[in-house]
């Protein structure tokens, strides 16, 4: 095949000859806007516009989980803090927050800054998808894989536009390790590539244990290719892995290896039931056929099931189109169900976050099908239909916490309040959107104890979601009345606040 990547590097004189030929070709013919090139450009523009809409449209906003990443970044910058992991847990390395500190320093603390940051990382994920695919298939198919990852599945794309802490970063590191595996396979004696492979996986292990979706199959791939004999290089990779995971190691030495103490999230599930759950719920979500949260079939039950079976068959068909020695994506996908079933919490998909790492690989495998016109049309139809159906679910997917807390922040400031108690899904969003000029914390369980102490020592307001039953906060007004403490109730945006005239903490 003429457009397959060449394994052997060109000699210097060959390179010069090829470059002269390309320059002669470019000078001899005018620039042509071919139909495929125009179509590709339009699809990319639509994809980018869709991502911007997902970031800043009805499903935009920022919830408290996402706000925590921005708050960690802010406190790294202004307070010199460096927590190894996401607040309140012993996993989820704060590499994202570290990377966000720079943009926040330059542009300030805002939702727009963090949203743009993740738009860029999402686009970079598609670039790496193309680069990985380029080592596995023809250039036209690799381009198709990269473009496909911009749009499909749209629920996965939506997740890349969220402030997703470590999900996108784990995939970026996994794809980087994948590219290094190609270099190792081509130059197995290169210490540099082995060291890079180990170091990237070490950083990724700190960022998220989900890197196993890439680390396990890629390591097995190297073994299958006979590189297990490279003991010196493997030793270099092991040392580099330890160096990359330095933050994880130090944090765990200080906490009796808390990262390895996994809570029992299995519920009533077993390994086999989670494996079955993957094929029943998970993969249809990864294919863009099920809706997040309620798992409703987006194209209706009969048609969605038919498309699901067809897409599973397409994976087998893609395998038949692949070349021996260039099938590492099938190993990554083949091991994924067994790794998925191993994690006890994966029995509950909710918005599908646990399929993120599998869904990220699918565009590579399906890019192989960009050959016969029938498969091109069929794949384009699936992408379009599922995207339209997903966008049609916006009203369902738009949930609490996506409206800005800015109106309430302004109201509290106007009334002289700089601290507040609120439920989790209000507290950290408000604190981030106020750039810590208003500190809010849950009253009971807090991710970040210093915020709780600040609120306890201040003169707090009590903030709730508008529309909640009055009984949810009647205990506050009852206690204030019993203590003869005057208070006011104010509304702003979709929030309501009780403002005691004296400092009172239950």
Q: Is 312 helix (H, G, I), strand (E, B) or coil?
A: helix
Last residue of a domain, one of 397, 417, 447: 397
The H-or-E segment that residue 462 falls in is strand 461-465
The H-or-E segment that residue 461 falls in is strand 461-465
Q: Which pLDDT value is given to residue 27?
A: 44
Question: If we measure between CA atoms, which residue out of 29, 200, 172, 56 comes closest to residue 116?
Answer: 56
Residue 289: CA count within 13 A, CB half-sphere: 22
Is 258 within the bounds of a domain? Answer: yes
Q: Residue 357: which pLDDT band, with cuts at 50, 70 and 90?
A: very high
Is 448 within the bounds of a domain? Answer: yes
Q: Which pLDDT value is given to residue 351?
A: 66
422 and 489 belong to one structural domain: yes
Average pLDDT over residues 343-347: 80
Domains in the chain, number:
2
How does DSSP classify residue 422?
A: E
Handedness of CA 231, 236, 239, 241 (dihedral sign): negative
How large a percentage of the chain has pLDDT more than 90? Answer: 60
Range of the domain at 175: 48-397
Task: Please say whether the beta carbons of 497 and 462 come within 8 A.
Answer: yes
Calculate the average pLDDT of the chain.
87
226 and 317 belong to one structural domain: yes
359 and 462 belong to one structural domain: no
Give the length of the chain. Answer: 506
Q: How many angstroms separate the CA atoms of 389 and 376, rounded?
A: 20
**Is pLDDT above 50 for 99?**
yes
Average pLDDT over residues 204-230: 95
**Is pLDDT above 70 for 491?**
yes
Query: Looking at per-residue confidence, does 199 or 356 come out higher?
Result: 199
Q: Residue 350: which pLDDT band, with cuts at 50, 70 and 90?
A: low
**Is pLDDT above 60 for 7?**
no
**Is pLDDT above 70 for 458?**
yes
Q: Give the range with max mean pLDDT: 16-25, 145-154, 326-335.
A: 326-335
201 and 225 belong to one structural domain: yes
**Is pLDDT above 80 for 216?**
yes
225 and 290 belong to one structural domain: yes
293 and 424 belong to one structural domain: no
328 and 423 belong to one structural domain: no
Is 170 within the bounds of a domain? Answer: yes
Last residue of a domain, one of 397, 418, 443: 397
**Is pLDDT above 50 for 268?**
yes
Question: If we measure between CA atoms, which residue out of 364, 426, 463, 455 comes closest to residue 147?
Answer: 364
Could you read off the pLDDT of 35-64 as tens digits, one per residue? Answer: 677 888 888 898 899 889 888 887 777 888
Could you read off the pLDDT of 377-412 as tens digits, one per residue? Answer: 998 899 889 888 888 877 666 554 568 899 999 999
Could you read off the pLDDT of 232-247 as tens digits, one per residue? Answer: 999 999 999 999 999 9
Q: Which pLDDT value is given to residue 28?
A: 44
Is 151 within the bounds of a domain? Answer: yes
Is 9 within the bounds of a domain? Answer: no
Tell me which residue has tokens 């599908």.
352
Query: Looking at per-residue confidence, does 235 or 298 come out higher?
Result: 235
Whether residue 153 is preceded by a cis peptide bond, meaning omega within 30 degrees of 0, is: yes
149 and 81 belong to one structural domain: yes
How does DSSP classify residue 500?
A: E
Query: Looking at per-residue confidence, does 34 or 305 come out higher?
Result: 305
65 and 196 belong to one structural domain: yes
Is 446 within the bounds of a domain? Answer: yes
Q: How many angstroms separate the CA atoms of 456 and 460, rounded?
A: 7
Q: How many angstroms separate the CA atoms of 206 and 7, rounded?
A: 34
Q: Is 419 helix (H, G, I), strand (E, B) or coil?
A: strand
Q: What predicted TM-score, i.e. pTM, was given to this entire model?
A: 0.88
Residue 215: CA count within 13 A, CB half-sphere: 20
Is 25 within the bounds of a domain? Answer: no
Neighbours of 229 (CB within 10 A): 9
**Is pLDDT above 90 for 202?**
yes
Is 163 within the bounds of a domain? Answer: yes
386 and 416 belong to one structural domain: no
Q: How many angstroms separate the CA atoms of 473 and 496, rounded?
A: 10
454 and 370 belong to one structural domain: no
412 and 392 belong to one structural domain: no
Last residue of a domain, one of 397, 419, 435: 397
């Amino acid at each position: 095949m003429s457009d397959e990547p060449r394994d052997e590097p060109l000699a210097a004189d060959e390179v010069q000859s090829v470059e002269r030929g390309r320059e002669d070709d470019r000078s001899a013919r005018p620039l042509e806007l071919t139909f495929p090139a125009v179509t590709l450009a339009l699809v990319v523009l639509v994809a980018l516009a869709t991502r911007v809409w997902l970031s800043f449209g009805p499903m935009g906003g920022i919830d408290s989980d996402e706000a925590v990443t921005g708050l960690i970044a802010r406190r790294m910058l202004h307070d010199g803090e460096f927590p190894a992991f996401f607040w309140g847990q012993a996993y989820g390395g704060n590499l994202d927050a570290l990377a966000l500190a720079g943009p926040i320093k330059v542009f300030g603390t805002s939702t727009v800054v963090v949203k743009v940051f993740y738009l860029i990382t999402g686009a970079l994920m598609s670039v790496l998808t193309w680069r990985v695919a380029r080592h596995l298939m023809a250039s036209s198919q690799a381009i198709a894989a990269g473009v496909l990852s911009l749009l499909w599945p749209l629920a996965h794309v939506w997740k890349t536009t969220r402030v997703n802490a470590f999900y996108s970063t784990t995939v970026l590191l996994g794809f980087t390790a994948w590219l290094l595996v190609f270099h190792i396979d081509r130059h197995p004696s290169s210490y540099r590539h082995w060291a890079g492979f180990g170091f990237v996986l070490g950083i990724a292990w700190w960022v998220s244990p989900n890197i196993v979706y890439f680390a396990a199959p890629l390591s097995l791939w190297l073994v299958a290719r006979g590189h297990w004999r490279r003991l010196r290089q493997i030793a270099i990779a092991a040392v580099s892995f330890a160096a990359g995971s330095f933050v994880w190691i130090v944090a765990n030495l200080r906490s009796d290896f808390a990262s390895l103490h996994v809570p029992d999230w299995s519920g009533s599930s077993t390994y086999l039931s989670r494996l079955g759950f993957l094929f029943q719920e998970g993969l249809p979500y990864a294919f863009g056929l099920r809706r997040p949260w309620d798992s409703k079939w987006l194209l209706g039950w009969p048609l969605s099931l038919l498309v699901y079976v067809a897409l599973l068959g397409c994976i087998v068909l893609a395998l038949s189109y692949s070349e021996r020695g260039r099938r590492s994506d099938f190993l990554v996908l083949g091991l994924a169900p067994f790794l998925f079933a191993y994690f006890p919490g994966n029995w509950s998909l909710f918005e599908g976050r646990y399929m993120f790492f599998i869904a990220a690989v699918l565009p590579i495998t399906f890019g192989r099908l960009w050959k016969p016109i029938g498969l091109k049309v069929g794949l384009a139809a699936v992408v379009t239909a599922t995207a339209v159906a997903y966008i049609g679910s916006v009203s369902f997917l738009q949930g609490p916490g996506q409206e800005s807390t800015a109106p309430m922040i302004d109201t509290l400031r106007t009334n002289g309040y700089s601290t507040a108690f609120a439920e989790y899904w209000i507290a950290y969003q408000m604190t981030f959107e106020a750039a810590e000029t208003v500190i809010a914390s849950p009253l009971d369980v807090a991710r970040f104890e210093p915020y709780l102490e600040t609120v306890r020592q201040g003169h707090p307001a009590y903030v709730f979601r508008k529309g909640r039953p009055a009984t949810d906060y009647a205990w506050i007004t009852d206690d204030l009345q019993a203590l003869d403490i005057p208070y006011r109730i104010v509304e702003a945006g979709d929030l309501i606040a009780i403002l005691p005239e004296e400092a009172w903490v239950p």
